[in-house]
Amino acid sequence: MPLLVMKFGGTSVADLERIRNAALKVKREVERGYDVIVIVSAMSGKTNELVGWVEQTSPLFDAREYDAVVSSGENVTAGLMALTLQEMDVPARSWQGWQVPINTTSAHSAARFVSIPRDHLDAKFAEGFKVAVVAGFQGVSPEGRITTLGRGGSDTTAVAFAAAFGAERCDIYTDVDGVYTTDPRITDKARKLDRIAFEEMLELASLGAKVLQTRSVELAMRYKVRLRVLSSFEDTDENSGTLVCDEEEIMESKVVSGIAYSRDEAKLTLVTVEDRPGIAAAIFGPLSEAGVNVDMIVQNISEKNFEGHNVAVTDMTFSCPVNQVARAQKALEDARASGSIAYDDLVVDTDVAKVSVVGIGMRSHAGVAAQMFSALSAENINIKVIGTSEIKISVLIDRKYMELAVQALHDAFGLHRAA
């Protein structure tokens, strides 16, 4: 039997009516001849409630008990989904992570997959069961403790099962009907994409697009798992949604496929740092140890007159999430106090946003940067920092211009028109 993985997010299983709606979609795939593995999230809002209970009970909580509590939301959904399918005469059984078992590392609340043995689920399918409903977001450590994968972990669970079982496809059901060229809330010209390459989706996810969790796209790209993003609230067929697939499956891509943005960015500049071998390691090592997620980095070389001699110095600018600024400041101040680095000042700007253009077509087309910068210049938007990769260009700008920048770039690259 061909096998399909279907994942339903929190809004898709928010109450019994929505669980029934999701179950009808599963039943339809069973009637088409598939065995189905269903991955479910907790009901919408339930994980936040459970986290709140843990934090109220124990501000300095034991991470093992945290995982035991917050993973329970998915267990409830899995059982309810299996019961609903049984009421529809679909042979179904629910599975918690430890029952499969989903073997993970011991990093509680941030565990990573080690293996997913097929034996138990394959045996159930052989007995005549058509659907295995698996609680997402969770697994079991080598010590036998429940672990969780971090927020958005159910997406990653779904892709991991699709890879482990050789699924024909992994369908991600959510509250949007696909992947768009940009956020439709920013511009009504945003267009749903029929297909998008793994690399593009990975960049968009890491740059702020909320449709898919970044780790799930990384895993799908590594194991060539075809992903399809669909709406739980619309009738769907084999052509619905957006297919995330290998680049070779896309006949002809536009140069730019999408515009991503992130509001919550900060820019930090270390002023007058000694320019010497190892200075970058001395700066970014402590930041890494402090858990600061550094993104864009710019270094400007200049000279400073010190006791009659010109000494090479540098200004080092980098960006990070705005909620990590305090952590970054402390790490840098501690490094200066220890003598490992010296700088005149640390300038922090927490009123910036990151806007990025993404597209695999950029590999073979020149002039994308010039077109991007011209579009921003026409709107009198100043660029503070520029970062690039093979298929993306990102800029930091004043946050108040973020929506204008997204709209201008979307128009400049003609993303409202199909390829």
Say how far apart CA 147 and CA 152 lie, in whole Å: 14
Check residue 304 and give its pLDDT.
54
Of 250, 271, 296, the last residue of a domain is 250
Which residue among 205, 231, 250 closes a domain? 250
Q: Describe the chain by its helix, strand, coil percentages, rounded to 5.
A: 40, 30, 35
Each residue of 76-96: pLDDT tens digit? Answer: 999 999 999 999 999 999 999
Specify if 419 maps to a domain: no
Pick from 295, 297, 301: nearest CA to 273: 301
Q: Are residues 23 and 170 part of one domain?
A: yes
Q: What is the CATH number of the domain that holds 112?
A: 3.40.1160.10
Phi, psi of 306 (to 5 degrees): -130, 110
Residues 102/153, Cβ–Cβ less than 8 Å: no
Residue whose C-alpha is closest to residue 354's, from 300, 271, 293, 284: 293
The reply to whether 317 and 213 lie within a common domain is no
Cβ atoms 212, 244 nearer than 8 A: yes
Low-confidence ranges of the chain (pLDDT < 70): 208, 252, 302-311, 419
CATH number at residue 380: 3.30.2130.10
pLDDT at 157: 96
Domain termination residue (choose one: 229, 250, 271): 250
Residues 231 and 311 in one domain: no
According to the model, what pLDDT value does residue 419 have? Answer: 62
> Which of 264, 320, 300, 298 lies closest to 386, judged by CA?
298
Same domain, 168 and 99: yes
Range of the domain at 27: 3-250
**How do strand 103-104 and strand 113-115 relate by DSSP bridges?**
antiparallel
As beta bridge partners, residue 108 has none
Residues 230 and 294 in one domain: no
**pLDDT at position 284, please?**
95
* Domain count within the chain: 2
Residue 85 · residue 93 · CB < 8 Å = no
Closest CA to 190 of 406, 419, 2: 406
Task: State whether 102 and 195 are in the same domain.
Answer: yes
Residues 231 and 344 in one domain: no
Indicate whether 418 belongs to any domain: no
Sequence-distant (6+) residues with CB within 8 A of 248 are none
Distance, in Å, from the CA atom of 396 to the CA atom of 320, rounded to the nearest integer, reads 11
Q: Which two tokens stand for residue 326?
A: 């305090």
For residue 208, the model assigns a pLDDT of 67
Tell me whether residue 337 is in a domain. Answer: yes
At 319, is the secondary structure helix, strand, or coil?
Answer: strand
Same domain, 134 and 161: yes
Eight-class DSSP state of 382: P
* 217 plus 124 within the same structural domain: yes
pLDDT tens figures, 203-261: 888 876 777 888 899 999 999 999 999 999 888 777 789 999 888 887 767 789 999 99
What does 28-45 look like in DSSP terms, one character per residue?
A: HHHHTT-EEEEEE-PPTT
